[in-house]
Amino acid sequence: MLVKKLLNLPNPLKLEPKLRHEVLRYIILGMSDGVLFALGILLVTLSFSVQEAVKAWIGGVVTAALTNSYGAYFAERSFEEARLYVLERHLLRSLKGTIISKKTAFKVRVRVFAAGASTLLGGLIPATLFFTLPYPFNAIAGIVLALSTLAFTGFITSRKKRVKTAFLYTGGGMLVALLTYVIGQVL
- Average predicted confidence (pLDDT) for the chain: 83
pLDDT tens digits along 128-171:
877 788 877 888 888 889 999 999 988 888 888 989 999 999 99
Q: CA 12, CA 15: separation in Å to the nearest integer?
A: 7
Asked if residue 4 belongs to a domain, the reply is: no
Assess contact for 73 and 67: CB atoms under 8 A.
no
| Structure-derived torsion over alpha carbons of residues 29, 33, 34, 36, reported in degrees to the nearest 10 | 140
Peptide bond into 136 cis (omega under 30): yes
- In this structure, is residue 8 part of a structural domain? no
Residue 158 or residue 114, greater confidence: 114
Report helix angle 99-124 to 50-91, nearest 10.
Answer: 160
Instruction: Note down the domain range covering 170.
Output: 17-186
Question: Across residues 45-51, what is the average pLDDT?
Answer: 80
Q: What gap in Å lies between CA 69 and CA 77, rounded to an integer?
A: 12
Q: Output the pLDDT for position 9.
A: 47
Write down the pLDDT at residue 10: 46
Q: Is there a contact between 49 and 133 (Cβ–Cβ < 8 Å)?
A: no
Determine the Cα angle at 170 with ends 165 and 176, to 5°. 125
Task: Assign 117 a pLDDT band (cuts: 50, 70, 90).
Answer: very high
Contacts 24+ apart (CB under 8 A), 172-176: 173/35, 173/36, 173/39, 173/146, 173/147, 174/147, 176/36, 176/39, 176/40
Q: Is residue 81 part of a domain?
A: yes
Q: Is residue 9 part of a domain?
A: no
> What whole-number distance in Å separates Cα of residue 23 and Cα of residue 14?
13
What's the pLDDT tens digit per position in 7-45? 554 444 466 777 777 788 888 888 888 998 888 888 888
The domain total for the chain is: 1
Residue 56 lies in a domain: yes
Asked if residue 130 is part of any domain, the answer here is yes
Percent of the chain with pLDDT over 70: 92
pLDDT on residue 12: 47
